[in-house]
Structure 1
Amino acid sequence: MTGVAVWLSWSTPHRFWNKCTHAVCPPASGTGNRSQGRTRRAIQSAGLRSGSSGYAHHIVQRGHNRAACFFGEEDYQTYRHWLGEALANTGAALHAYVLMTNHVHLLVTPKAAEDIPQLVITIGRRYVQTINKTYRRTGTLWDSRYKSSLIQTDTYLLRYQRYIELNPVRADMVRHPGEYAWSSYRANGLGANDPLLSPHTLYLELGASPDSQQAAYRELFRTGLDEAALRAYPKRPVARQVMIPSARWIMAK
């Protein structure tokens, strides 16, 4: 299977969004029950039930119409807070991330197949609630769809990790990834403490100690990143188009 688009429709009961999993939705009656059944089958057909847990996923979430979703330093801290809460609740492991002005990249390995949609929707809901309250704004903040691609080949995992952490360099925001405060590079490459991160096995295999792992990781950044090869890599999009709740619904909760 090369990829299936998954749509969580507005007819899906709100409690589905609160739980955000095809496995634990409480039973319902009438049209809600039929809607839940359709949603479960859609997620299962996309491969979210089997074959996606235990593998790293590259998640990209963008601001609505590519507009900014971070407006000040405290907003990045707020996002990190809700990201940490979502990771703790799902048990998913975060290996790399970058928070850009108008989008976010995450490299995550879920424990269970439903962890990815639960993670993204939980962060999106909580973060938008906080931002709308802080700035006295209404309306949507995130694009209604996020991308989640399964990285099944170990050869490419550290390349994608570098790709994520080099985003600020490619955007001409900094000259070196270590200069950017809102990414995982300072932890992975320089040994800074970041409680959000859980190093991937491939990262740990870079050396026998944290110092040697960081040195080997920094060495990877001395060579150019073959972005054409990454684009050509046959990723498996397990949730390429997944609807997330709008800000209007979020503010109503």
Structure 2
Amino acid sequence: MELAEEGKIKRIFRARGKISYPGAVCHITQRASGKEPLFLEDSDYLYMLHLIKDVVKKFKLDVFCYVLMPNHLHILMRLSTDNLSKSMKDLFERYATYFNKKYERKGHVFGSAFRQALCFSDNYLFAASLYIHLNPVRAHIVQSPTQYRWSSCKLYARAFNGTTFIAYKFILKMLDNDIARARGAYCELLGSSMGIETQEVWEEPKALEYFRIRILEFMPKIISAEHESKEEFIDERKLEEKITQLRTKGRLRSPETLKARKFLIEQLRARGYALDRIGKMLGVSRQAIHKIIS
């Protein structure tokens, strides 16, 4: 199962220049300004959950999991349209207005613009869900992730027959189509992952990559990486070299050339280039790009 177009990119961290397109799977992080708290009372957590639910409906998002920590939050979600900035602006501005009004304060509630990491593989999506649910344990708030009230972890770990706006079954079914068995496997992974020490993603953008690698080391049978490409997100110099090499081949339509062209399109899209600009760089039309990535 592929969550993005089949390609080479696994995860792209974006503090600026957010990337938004239909089907994009995003790990969103946001934190309070300085050392200020983001939530002071239970009603604050509940109001943020109310806003997330409202934004999911309003902007047609799929939220796979979340955690609301005292001074920051994580949301793992998928876009259905090109509306990332609009949806997150709606969410965070409404909460900031609520928070300032309730506590009779002025100024910024959030430290900066939200941060985005694009997930281009199932392994990263799965690792992100574990990483998010283990936040309260890493912060020494609880001993087990299921003990924390303000996350989606219980949906993954315990039987649930009610309704929810969290699309938790999407990730669980990566483990087993039988949800009960999938929950058991997920709980096993949670327990095994608790000993992994890692930094927060806003302090170290590669924290989730390290976390994912460690998971694959001790649970290779549950999350197999055998279908993952060995080629990572390449640097600017290598990208320019590959573009030059491709352009010298002209309009050849061999399978190798088409594969190389698709790879470069994905690399450029991950950097935020518009399709028109990509077409000029690669010497192909916008229509040709759509055919290649479809």
Match of 1:188 among 156, 175, 178: 156
Compared CA separation, residues 55 and 199, structure 1 to 2 (3 A): farther
Match of 2:102 among 115, 134, 150: 134
For structure 1, the 5+ residue unaligned runs are 7-42, 240-253
Deviation at 1:231, TM superposition (A): 3.7
Compared CA separation, residues 125 and 5, structure 1 to 2 (3 A): closer
Deviation at 1:164, TM superposition (A): 0.3
Distance 2:163 2:106 in 1: 32
Distance 1:212 1:90 in 2: 32
Match of 1:117 among 67, 71, 85: 85
Alignment-derived partner of residue 245 in structure 1: none
Distance 1:122 1:93 in 2: 16
| Map 1:5-16 → 2, pairs under 5 A | 6=16
For structure 2, the 5+ residue unaligned runs are 1-8, 199-205, 213-231, 234-266, 273-294
Q: In 2, are the aligned partners of 1:62 and 1:143 still within 8 Å (CA)?
A: yes
Distance 1:186 1:194 in 2: 13
- Deviation larger for 166-175 or 207-216: 207-216
Matched residue SS, 2:193? coil
Compared CA separation, residues 221 and 73, structure 1 to 2 (3 A): same
| Map 1:40-51 → 2, pairs under 5 A | 47-48=19-20
| Map 1:218-237 → 2, pairs under 5 A | 218-224=187-193, 227=198, 230-232=208-210
Identity %: 26
| Map 1:1-253 → 2, pairs under 5 A | 6=16, 47-48=19-20, 52-114=21-83, 116-192=84-160, 193=162, 195-199=164-168, 201-224=170-193, 227=198, 230-232=208-210
1:49-106 deviations in Å (ceiling 9; x for gaps) = xxx4313211000101242110111100000001111110111100010000110100
Matched residue SS, 1:138? coil
Distance 1:94 1:172 in 2: 25
Distance 2:132 2:57 in 1: 22
Compared CA separation, residues 104 and 3, structure 1 to 2 (3 A): closer
Compared CA separation, residues 70 and 4, structure 1 to 2 (3 A): closer
Alignment-derived partner of residue 236 in structure 2: none
Deviation at 1:133, TM superposition (A): 2.0
Deviation at 1:222, TM superposition (A): 2.5
- The residue type paired with residue 131 of structure 2 is Y
Q: In 1, are the aligned partners of 2:14 and 2:115 still within 8 Å (CA)?
A: no
Alignment-derived partner of residue 37 in structure 1: none
Distance 1:107 1:4 in 2: 14
Compared CA separation, residues 74 and 92, structure 1 to 2 (3 A): same
Question: What's the TM-score once normalised by structure 2's chain length?
Answer: 0.60
Distance 1:97 1:119 in 2: 16
Distance 1:188 1:4 in 2: 28
Q: In 1, are the aligned partners of 2:15 and 2:115 still within 8 Å (CA)?
A: no
Matched residue SS, 2:29? strand
